[in-house]
């Protein structure tokens, strides 16, 4: 372990007088899954968007592998993010091309990265479909015909195929049925372990956070109010807001 | 303390305190642990003793850094050094849990859908042991706790309390951590299974594991404990 792959320092995002993110710092190391929890409006999605270069921060820095993304020219930043950082959207339709085949969705980003051999691309796409448990017989189907859970798995295959070192996920199980969520969580956990990915996952679901994240940040009103190992934050919450979140979860 | 024991201390707790501030309940402060000290050498088993609510589980959870102690020291021998859990960062704590500190909780909490054999093998996989070997070692332990083989490929969610507890024990012992924290490891077991599990834990102790446990069950306590450590928290309650 040489050091963190992502370092965020004093990040702020203002919309007029409102500070959606009001000065957040965090580190993510290779192989580590960082969860960000909080309710709607806490600033967690804005923070993720700023890390992903989708929203320009008002202040602070985002350093990826030693390079400050906020100081790069737009074209260089886009290329670096496109090559090295994957983004999994809550709604798979935002991360897929629905009028392109499943195999095409996976291969497209590989082609953008320079791969050209049709047979090899198709085989790589099929191997990714295997890994996310989508049958090879669906390789030529358009994802518009897939269920929500399958679309989400395809989006994950598309993101991981280019072998990013950092993956950002926004509510990855958000729109799915509970029965499908468990399967996706199991799959995600296996892939993260196997590939040694660094992940930042935003979720309002504490159950998802517990199963996926090594560490948690709790956000409220644009600030981190508590952080620690996931089980520390959930089993021994110190801040009033975290205690409220944890005590509000319905037990089954 | 004699010299050789001192050299073999794997866990040293001094002046440990833990309070809870209940913001949801008017800011009441519960002082559960107050200046707790204890030490455990290789081959010793310390049984925490005290009535319900005295803070035994709180202490055990602090020793795993699951609860964050407020002050004091928890020195753990990890990779040849004594490391204080109160001042270790997240990555160090996770590494200590992977390699040095094993914890068997009362209840199994796992990802849904994962088969029992993989649930037990998981701590080895996260240490980088290859899948085949991890599954073999997991299978050995499941055999030792007499979990019927047809159950191994099923997820444990639907198992009985005693079956889940044995899965939990197998998972907790599979790595062979030098320090083991056991929270009522035999509470839901029938006599035969209890005897099997006690034999397994006794073996680990005699092989040099340092153990801290809560054992309400008298048979477990007399089989395992080399020292009884009374836990009597003052449970002083103060409004914030």
What gap in Å lies between CA B225 and CA B204, rounded to an integer?
A: 13
pLDDT score of B240? 45
Q: Please give the tally of structural domains in chain A.
A: 1
Q: In this model, does residue A178 exceed pLDDT 90?
A: no
The sign of the dihedral angle between the CA atoms of A127, A130, A134, A138 is positive
Strand pairing of A59-64 and A33-37?
Answer: unpaired
Question: Could you read off the pLDDT of A132-176 as tens digits, one per residue?
Answer: 999 999 999 999 999 999 999 999 999 999 889 999 999 998 878
Could B67 and A214 be called an inter-chain contact, meaning their C-beta atoms sit closer than 8 Å?
no
Question: Could you read off the pLDDT of B95-142 as tens digits, one per residue?
Answer: 999 999 999 988 887 777 889 999 999 999 989 899 999 999 999 999
Provide the residue ranges of all domains of chain B, joining segments of one domain with +: 1-100+216-240
Between A186, A210, A232, which is nearest B66 by CB? A232
Residue A131 lies in a domain: no
What band does A185 get if pLDDT is binned at 50, 70 and 90? confident
DSSP state, A71? G
Report the CATH number that the domain containing residue A57 is assigned in CATH.
Answer: 3.40.50.300
Residue A140 lies in a domain: no
The yes or no reply on domain B1-100+216-240 and CATH 3.40.50.300 is yes
Closest CA to B58 of B38, B32, B30: B32
Mean predicted confidence (pLDDT) in A39-54:
93
**Distance of alpha carbon B25 from the chain centroid:** 30
Closest CA to B47 of B221, B204, B177, B208: B221
Number of H helices, E strands in chain A: 10, 10
Could A229 and B90 be called an inter-chain contact, meaning their C-beta atoms sit closer than 8 Å?
yes
For residue A219, the enclosing domain spans 6-96+164-247
Residue A73 lies in a domain: yes
Q: In this model, does residue B16 exceed pLDDT 50?
A: yes
Tell me which residues of chain A have a C-beta less than 8 Å from any C-beta of chain B. 1, 29, 32, 182-183, 185-186, 189, 193, 210-211, 214-215, 228-229, 231-232, 235-236, 238-240, 243-244, 247
B93 to chain A: closest CA residue? A229
Angle between helices B131-144 and B161-173 (to 10 degrees): 130
pLDDT score of B235? 56
Question: What is the SS3 assignment for A136?
Answer: helix
B67 in contact with A at a CB cutoff of 8 Å? yes
Q: What is the mean pLDDT of chain B?
A: 92
What gap in Å lies between CA A134 and CA A149, rounded to an integer?
A: 10
pLDDT > 90: what percent of chain B? 81
Question: Could you read off the pLDDT of A8-38 as tens digits, one per residue?
Answer: 999 999 999 999 999 999 999 999 999 999 9
What band does B209 get if pLDDT is binned at 50, 70 and 90? very high
Are the C-beta atoms of residues A9 and A3 closer than 8 Å to each other? Answer: no
In SS3 terms, B65-110 reads as CCCCCCEEEEEEEECCEEEEHHHCCHHHHHHHHHHCEEEECCCCCC
Residues of B in contact with A240 (CB under 8 A): 23-24
Q: What ipTM was assigned to the predicted interfaces of this complex?
A: 0.92
What band does B52 get if pLDDT is binned at 50, 70 and 90? confident
A167, β-bridge pairs:
A86, A199
Contacts of A79 (CB under 8 A, 6+ apart): none
What gap in Å lies between CA A217 and CA B171, rounded to an integer?
A: 28
What band does A109 get if pLDDT is binned at 50, 70 and 90? confident
Mean predicted confidence (pLDDT) in A71-100:
91
Q: In this model, does residue A116 exceed pLDDT 90?
A: no
B240 in contact with A at a CB cutoff of 8 Å? no
What gap in Å lies between CA B37 and CA B230, rounded to an integer?
A: 11
A188 to chain B: closest CA residue? B111
Q: In this model, does residue A1 exceed pLDDT 60?
A: no
Could B61 and A235 be called an inter-chain contact, meaning their C-beta atoms sit closer than 8 Å?
yes
Could B24 and A1 be called an inter-chain contact, meaning their C-beta atoms sit closer than 8 Å?
no
A33 to chain B: closest CA residue? B91
Could B68 and A214 be called an inter-chain contact, meaning their C-beta atoms sit closer than 8 Å?
no
């Amino acid at each position: 372990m040489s050091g963190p792959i992502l370092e965020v320092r004093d990040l702020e995002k203002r919309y007029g007088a409102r500070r959606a993110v009001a000065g957040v710092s965090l580190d993510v190391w290779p192989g580590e899954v960082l969860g960000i929890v909080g309710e709607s409006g806490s600033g967690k999605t804005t923070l993720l968007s700023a890390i992903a270069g989708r929203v320009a921060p008002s202040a602070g820095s985002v350093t990826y592998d030693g390079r400050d993304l906020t100081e790069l020219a737009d074209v260089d930043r886009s290329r670096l993010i496109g090559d090295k950082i994957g983004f999994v959207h809550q709604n798979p339709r935002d991360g897929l091309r629905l009028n392109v085949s499943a195999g095409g969705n996976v291969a497209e980003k590989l082609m953008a990265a320079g791969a050209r051999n049709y047979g090899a691309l198709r085989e790589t796409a099929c191997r990714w479909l295997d890994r996310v448990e989508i049958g090879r017989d669906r390789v030529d189907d358009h994802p518009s015909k897939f269920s929500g859970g399958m679309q989400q798995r395809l989006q994950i295959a598309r993101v991981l195929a280019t072998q990013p070192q950092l993956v950002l996920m926004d509510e990855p199980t958000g729109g799915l049925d509970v029965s499908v969520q468990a399967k996706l969580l199991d799959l995600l956990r296996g892939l993260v372990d196997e590939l040694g990915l660094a992940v930042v996952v935003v979720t309002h679901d504490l159950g998802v956070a517990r199963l996926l994240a090594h560490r948690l940040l709790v956000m409220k009103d644009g600030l981190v109010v508590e952080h620690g190992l996931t089980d520390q934050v959930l089993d021994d919450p110190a801040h009033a807001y975290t205690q409220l979140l944890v005590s509000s979860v319905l037990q089954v | 303390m004699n010299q050789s024991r001192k050299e073999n201390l794997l866990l040293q707790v001094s002046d440990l305190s833990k309070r809870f501030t209940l913001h949801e309940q008017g800011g009441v402060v519960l002082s559960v642990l107050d200046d707790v000290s204890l030490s455990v050498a290789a081959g010793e088993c310390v049984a925490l003793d005290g009535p319900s609510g005295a803070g035994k589980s709180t202490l055990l959870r602090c020793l795993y850094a699951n609860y964050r102690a407020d002050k004091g020291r928890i020195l753990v021998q990890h990779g040849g050094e004594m490391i204080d859990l109160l001042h270790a960062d997240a990555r160090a704590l996770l590494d200590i849990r992977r390699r040095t500190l094993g914890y068997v909780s009362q209840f199994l909490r796992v990802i849904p859908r994962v088969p029992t054999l993989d649930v037990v093998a998981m701590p080895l996989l996260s240490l980088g042991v290859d899948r085949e070997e991890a599954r073999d070692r997991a299978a050995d332990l499941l055999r030792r706790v007499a979990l019927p083989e047809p159950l191994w490929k099923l997820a444990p969610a639907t198992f009985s309390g005693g079956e889940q507890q044995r899965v939990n024990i197998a998972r907790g012992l599979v790595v062979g951590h030098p320090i083991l924290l056991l929270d009522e490891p035999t509470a839901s077991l029938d006599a035969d299974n209890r005897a099997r599990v006690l034999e397994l834990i006794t073996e680990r102790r005699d092989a040099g594991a340092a153990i801290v446990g809560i054992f309400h069950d008298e048979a477990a306590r007399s089989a395992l404990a080399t020292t009884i450590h009374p836990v009597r928290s003052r449970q002083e309650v103060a409004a914030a």
